[in-house]
Amino acid sequence: MKLRKKSTISKANKEFISINNECIGIDITRQAIYTVLLNARSVNQIRLEKYAITPLPPHIFNDSGIEDHDQLVAYLQQAVKQLGSSCKNITTAMPQNLVSLQTLHYNTQQTELSLEEFVEFEISQTASLDDSSYDYFILQQFGSNHQQDILLANCNREDLNARLDVFSAANITPKQMDVDVLAVMNAVNLWIGTAQVELAEQSLAVFHLGHRGTTALITQNDRLLYKQEINLGHEHLMQIVRRNYQLTEEEAWAMVYAADKPADFSSKAGALFQDQLAQEIQRFLQFYYTASNHEQGSDVQHIVICGYPGNPSNPTLGIAERVARQVNIPTQQISPITAAQANPRLDNEQLLNDGNLLTVAFGLAARGL
């Protein structure tokens, strides 16, 4: 499997950098396939050409993985076709629940193993090398290059092949295979590089809401310091909506993702879910501080939330304010895809509403540029 390269976005990155012209990012989830087509001449000139959201019926996946291979292939073909592009530069991702991510410390003065041998030794401590597919990249070098911090991603080869088989059957060949959590990091880093460069060196807590859960990350200087999954996502909000409005599941999902929600949505559903999320974020931060032994510099300085359904500029959502009050840390809700210039032909209002669902696909497409 192939991981993203270390992001080149930072507050110091002002020069022109030549990159690939186009890339398609494909994010396959249990609920939908999200596709994003980006066009670029440099990392500072990225344009969102088109995107598509292709809903999936509930029987495509089961708890152990892909259940209906043939139907998933058909939906994948449909999703890519909607972009109307001949671009062959495609990036997709493995879901983080199928991938082990580790930060390793390699010191040439403490081992005779080469870097490759060291990585394979570390994998062999918890998994069979024959059954593993892995990749790694160097986060940083120090100590006259004798020491390196390395990010290692490892997954079961069967799980990877199952994903690649779907693409092969759809006659689509991904050029890069990433991990969805790293795509979130990449998307957020792009947003920071264009919208709020002062956050680049701060200790940042990132919370990305997905269908079933929320990915919680601690990052600094483009490095992943800590990761955890919070068992609270869009599905939990849907259940609250379904119960309090007495709707069918289909009707409740439509309300969750609708641009225009009922006037009492916040009091009947949104506030309850936001309070639960704020409490879970507080617990996560407590776990992180315990794990880091509250070392100097470990305090989170800023929180960003992405993936929350709806337009983040809508002040009635209130999620950032609730979290900030709960944990007493500056918090904002963002839509990372706004780091790209939107094609004038796109519906801006619809994009504002859909943007939070496209974070992973956007990060994947940017990975391939």
CATH number of 190-348: 3.30.420.40
Rounded-to-integer distance, Cα 37 and Cα 365, Å: 7
Copy the structure tokens of residue 327: 């944990």
Neighbour-count burial of 250, counting CB atoms closer than 10 A to its CB (0-12 exposed, 13-18 middle, 19+ buried): exposed
Pairing between strand 90-94 and 176-179? parallel
pLDDT value of position 4: 39
Residue 297: what pLDDT?
57
**Residue labelled with tokens 């073909």:** 77
Handedness of CA 212, 312, 256, 30 (dihedral sign): negative
Domain 99-155 class, CATH top level: alpha beta
| Locus of tokens 């950032």 | 320
User: In the chain, which residues fall in CATH 3.30.1490.300?
Assistant: 99-155
Q: How far apart are the two ends of the chain, measured CA to CA in Å?
A: 18
Residue with tokens 């809903």: 55
Q: What stretch(es) of the chain map to CATH 3.30.420.40?
A: 190-348
Output the pTM of the full model: 0.90
pLDDT given at position 147 = 87
Identify the pLDDT of residue 259.
82
Q: What is the mean pLDDT of each run of 10 residues along the chain (369 residues)?
A: 37 38 95 96 83 94 90 98 96 93 89 92 91 88 80 93 96 95 95 92 95 93 88 96 96 90 90 95 94 72 92 71 95 94 94 94 95
